[in-house]
Amino acid sequence: MNTQSEISILPAHVAIIMDGNGRWAKLRGEPRNKGHRQGVKSVKNIVKTCISKGVSTLTLFAFSSENWKRPRTEVSLLMELFLTALGSELRELDKNGVRLRFIGDRSDIPAKVQRAMENAEIQTTDNQNLTLVIAVSYGGQWDIKQAVQQLARRIEAGELTADEINERHIADNLSTVEIPPPDLFIRTGGERRISNFLLWQLAYTELYFTDTLWPDFDDQAFSEALDDYAKRQRRYGMTPEQTQAKQVSHA
């Protein structure tokens, strides 16, 4: 059983850039798609581990706005892989209490994939063990742009003035509305970049980068990331003394 201190140092929301599938395959002389298929296995494992550890939200960057620039064959393969994974895993995810949410610009996604995404969201809407947010055709800049457009429409309609806009208005119009910001961001595969992932939402998130390639990111690698997170002091702009006082008052 978890002690109180273990509970408080577990991130409630983990967001991951799953990088390195292509290199994993190349190292083995295999085509890139083999790496993506292996990446799906890592996804399944991390979902299971998040449920057992009690992480409440997991956000995975599956396909970025920029990934549309990849060769057509790889884009089609990734879309097919999402469709197949959704088809084969939905029942199991539902049984395990996983609520699925997709974020991103759906307009470019093939219609059959869009339908599968909508069905999965509807079927799992009442589940409460883990919210699994999958970013597909997602870009942080796209998300902020569409939020600004929604607010601009409200201004045009006379419902809001420019001076009334505050941070809450922006957060409430992002695709992550009602999802708390990530506590821990993990990027596998060696790069130290955010790459247009959750730009607004990562403002106070603890960042963790590892050279481990996504298909190799197992429970041991995840535990190392969680241990590293547990040692961080999150200050939200305050001094170390203020932060400690706040932690004591909440203990």
Q: At what angle do helices 32-53 and 72-95 cross, to 10 degrees?
A: 30
Instruction: Kindly tell me which of 130 and 147 has the beta carbon lying closer to ligand FPP.
Output: 130
Instruction: Kindly tell me which of 61 and 173 has the beta carbon lying closer to ligand FPP.
Output: 61
CB closest to ligand FPP, residue no: 22
Instruction: Kindly tell me which of 59 and 173 has the beta carbon lying closer to ligand FPP.
Output: 59
Q: Is 140 exposed, middle or buried (0-12, 13-18, 19+ CB in 10 A)?
A: buried
Whether 19 is catalytic is: yes
Binding site for ligand FPP (CB under 6 A): 18-23, 36, 39-40, 43, 60, 62, 67, 78, 81-82, 85, 134, 189, 214
- The active-site residue, picked from 19, 21, 143, 183, is 19
The sign of the dihedral angle between the CA atoms of 152, 65, 82, 126 is negative
The distance of closest approach from Cβ of residue 4 to ligand FPP in the complex, given in angstroms and rounded to an integer, is 33
The distance of closest approach from Cβ of residue 206 to ligand FPP in the complex, given in angstroms and rounded to an integer, is 22
Whether 67 is catalytic is: yes
Instruction: Kindly tell me which of 135 and 147 has the beta carbon lying closer to ligand FPP.
Output: 135
| Length of the chain (residues) | 251
- The active-site residue, picked from 33, 67, 96, 127, is 67
Strand arrangement of the beta sheet that strand 98-103 belongs to: 98-103, 130-138, 57-64, 13-17, 184-187, 206-209
The distance of closest approach from Cβ of residue 78 to ligand FPP in the complex, given in angstroms and rounded to an integer, is 6
Instruction: Kindly tell me which of 67 and 129 has the beta carbon lying closer to ligand FPP.
Output: 67
Q: What are phi and psi of 221, to 5 degrees?
A: -65, -40
Long-range contacts, stretch 67-70, CB < 8 angstroms, 24+ apart: 67/137, 68/108, 68/137
The distance of closest approach from Cβ of residue 114 to ligand FPP in the complex, given in angstroms and rounded to an integer, is 15
d(CA 15, CA 153): 30
Tokens 């890139």 -> residue: 32
The distance of closest approach from Cβ of residue 53 to ligand FPP in the complex, given in angstroms and rounded to an integer, is 19
Residues noted as catalytic:
19, 67
